[in-house]
Amino acid sequence: MAAAALMVRGGAVRDRAIVWSLLGHGVLALLVLIGGIVVHRSPPLTQLAIKATIVDPDALRQLRTAPNPVPEPAPKPEPKPEPAPEPDRRLKEQQSEQERQAPQQKRELAARREKDVLAKQQADKAKAQLAEKQR
């Protein structure tokens, strides 16, 4: 399409950007084919690589040895746990007495609750009878 625009005289005169674009691409293609521009360096890269790999023959070579391993410290013996002191006999007796009395206390508590419930029911009945009499 660009070539057709160049062949037509009116198209080429109106749009010069296409001509410059084609010329620029042509120059770039020419540079690639020639091999590019050579920039001279001082010293050349190949010489730098050689200098970097030269080893001084007079240098003393010392083999690296692995450092001696640090001995692990001996584990400390764990202290024996102190024997638990025996509970006081009085405390044991109190606990056993409480355990014996627990069922009895539960029965007494249940009996009190029953009495309270009955007393409340009787009070409610009395209030209801009083209310009926006042009507």
Residue recorded with tokens 């009083």:
130
Cα–Cα distances (Å) from 80 to 1, 76, 85, in that order, read: 98, 12, 15
Q: Can you give the pLDDT of all 135 residues of the chain as single tens digits?
A: 555 655 655 554 567 888 899 999 999 888 888 876 666 666 666 665 555 566 666 666 655 666 777 888 888 888 888 877 776 788 888 888 888 888 888 999 999 999 999 999 999 999 999 888 887
Question: Has this prediction a pTM greater than 0.85?
Answer: no
Round to whole Å and give the CA distance between 128 and 111: 26
Whether the link from the prior residue into 87 is cis, omega within 30° of 0, is no
Domain ranges within the chain, ordered by starting residue: 1-36, 93-135
Backbone angles phi, psi at 39, to 5 degrees: -100, 120
Q: Which residue has the tokens 């029965």?
A: 107
